[in-house]
Amino acid sequence: MTDQTFLPGPGWHGTTILAVRKNGRTVIAGDGQVSMGPTIVKGAARKVRVLAGGKVLAGFAGATADAFTLIERLEAKLEQYPDQLARACVDLAKDWRTDRYLRKLEAMLLVADRTSIFTVTGVGDVLEPEHGVAAVGSGGNYAFAAARALIDHTDLDAETIARQAMAIAADICVYTNGNLTVETL
């Protein structure tokens, strides 16, 4: 995986987004904190969305307006390529990398359906994790490490792993809180 830490915009920090897939269940969890420098400006932001009529989950880290633009583009790609999440993500990454306007967007996406998880970045990456876990954002590395430790060494389900890993990230990363949005497929 590429660097999990992403610090968007001038002075804006924050967010942890985690995806976990285990035993046929896929979960994306995101914290609610938005910080500007040392100040928490919002504690209950929703950074995880349900797309494609409930078949796809997307979580974002980075500049909010940029992320919403990317999610709108992803929704259009999912309409163009129904039930082809990988193709929609690759097509979005191509546009993001080559379009002069999109190229300037500062965000990262975690996108998942029942069988796949993808990290989509503005440098053209569409990465599928090897172990059913992916994370982005300021606390992404912490949540990722915690989920990796839990996924193969416990009988916990995907949602419980995601919640516990996010709690660990919130305890370590000052830009992550415990106010979670959790969506499951």
Q: Which two tokens stand for residue 184?
A: 């499951």
pLDDT at 150: 97
Is residue 115 annotated as a catalytic residue, yes or no? no
Q: How far is CA 161 from the centre of its chain?
A: 15
Q: How many residues in the chain?
A: 185
- Asked if the structure places residue 2 within a domain, the reply is no
Longest dimension (CA), the chain: 47
User: Within a domain: residue 179?
Assistant: yes
Task: Report if residue 6 sits inside a domain.
Answer: no
Residue 3 lies in a domain: no
Say what the pLDDT of residue 46 is.
93
CATH code of the domain covering residue 66: 3.60.20.10
Tokens of 79: 């309409």
Q: Which two tokens stand for residue 16?
A: 């942890």
- Contact between 31 and 177 under an 8 Å Cβ cutoff? The reply is yes
Q: Is 137 part of a structural domain of the chain?
A: yes
pTM metric for this prediction: 0.89
Q: Using an 8 Å Cβ cutoff, are 166 and 178 in contact? A: yes
| Catalytic member of 2, 15, 69, 160 | 15
What is the predicted pLDDT for the residue at 182?
A: 96
Instruction: Confirm or deny that 52 is annotated as ligand binding.
Output: no
7 falls within a domain: no
Which has the closest alpha carbon to 109: 122, 91, 95? 122
Nearest to 184 by CA among 29, 23, 16: 29
- Whether residue 44 is annotated as binding a ligand: the answer is no
Residue with tokens 């919130």: 170
Confirm if 48 and 162 have CB atoms less than 8 A apart: no
What is the spatial distance between Cα 93 and Cα 109, in angstroms, rounded to a whole number? 10
Find, among 65, 15, 61, 19, the residue nearest to 42 by Cα. Answer: 15
Which regions in the chain score pLDDT beneath 50? Answer: 1-12
Residue 89 annotated as lining a ligand binding site:
no
Q: Give the number of domains in the chain.
A: 1
**Domain coverage including residue 132:** 12-184
